[in-house]
Amino acid sequence: MNFVALPFWTWQLLVAMGINVIVQAIQIGAYAARLAGVRTGRIATSISLFNLFVTASRLATLLYTLMLGPLSDRAGNAVATLLKHHMTSQIDGVTHVFALQLRMIVVAGTVGTILGSLLLPMFTYMYMRGVRSFERTKSLPHSLIRLFDPRIIMDILRHVRLPKWSEIRAFSPRHIPRRLLIFNVLVTGIYAIGVVAAYYASVLDVSVARTALGISGIINGIGTIAFTFFVDPTSSIIVDEAVKGERPHDDVKAMVFYLALTAIVGWILSQVLLWPSAAVIADVARLVNHRH
């Protein structure tokens, strides 16, 4: 008989998915700040906006992490109950349901990344307006508040359009460093499953659950360092060269497009990395606890 029935669709799962769609769309939209900087000639201001939105989106990731808590608690308690009653044959069923819930959250992040990529023209216009507003007001908070003005919202929404196929075909990767795109795939993949893999590991071995959850911070820290060392500097150099006239502005457009595309690839890759990453985290947690 089934001693434990783990529900799949819960309000926590739906909220986590919804938040992840919005957060990842905003994070991809932040790439448009580079292009807005080239078009306005205000590189420092655009980079400030870029850093603001990227930092805010990563902070907002904690909101869906909050929803992961009840999901993992429910699954972890179910596994603990099955172990207590020596019903180990049902543990795989519980962990399978929890793994599917985590994969749905990753799918939501992938959808958000695709949505943000499709809305890059709108984000570019929004950043250009933000840069000009900041120049007038000399206040970043005031400029951000103005974004909630209904007239400005309607003006931005009028610039919502899907990229034309002819525009996409015109983007050439020839002048974009391959290492930039490769590292963007890897960094995105790490961010995509850094937290969810740790929660998965906490259910795979409930005896080291707290240690496994603590490792998620280390993984995200590694991802942040990798982004700072390999992705951000290279993309900044391309923008600076475009502003100085050392390369065409189309290279920046191509860079933004391929950064968005490789981010989508990174999210898809994260589905493959989820279980191996969770298994490694569980092993590390056992090692730290001197358990075999």
Is 19 strand, coil or helix?
helix
Say how many Å lie between the first and final Cα of the chain, rounded.
31
The more confidently predicted of residues 189 and 51 is 189
Q: How confident is residue 249, by pLDDT bands cut at 50, 70 and 90?
A: confident
pLDDT, residue 263, reads 95
- Nearest-angstrom CA–CA distance, 237 and 224: 19
pLDDT, residue 128, reads 85
- Nearest-angstrom CA–CA distance, 82 and 94: 10
- Nearest-angstrom CA–CA distance, 196 and 217: 11
Helices of type H across the chain = 11-29, 32-40, 43-84, 91-118, 120-137, 140-146, 150-157, 165-170, 178-204, 209-226, 232-243, 249-288
224 token code pair: 């942040």
Q: Where are the domains of the chain?
A: 11-288
Cα 92 from chain centroid (whole Å) = 29
Mean pLDDT of the 62-91 span: 86
- Nearest-angstrom CA–CA distance, 66 and 144: 26
User: pLDDT digits over 83-138, tens only?
Assistant: 888 787 888 889 999 999 999 999 999 999 999 999 988 888 888 888 888 778 77
pLDDT, residue 274, reads 93
- Nearest-angstrom CA–CA distance, 23 and 57: 5
Whether 283 has a pLDDT exceeding 90, the answer reads yes
Q: Residue 188 gets which letter from DSSP?
A: H
pLDDT, residue 4, reads 56
Whether 277 has a pLDDT exceeding 90, the answer reads yes
- What pTM did the predictor assign? 0.88
User: pLDDT digits over 183-211, tens only?
Assistant: 999 999 988 888 899 999 999 999 899 99
pLDDT, residue 291, reads 63
Whether 1 has a pLDDT exceeding 60, the answer reads no
The more confidently predicted of residues 69 and 158 is 69
Q: Residue 231 gets which letter from DSSP?
A: I
- Nearest-angstrom CA–CA distance, 78 and 85: 11
Q: Is the dihedral of CA 126, 129, 131, 134 positive or negative?
A: negative
127 token code pair: 């950043």
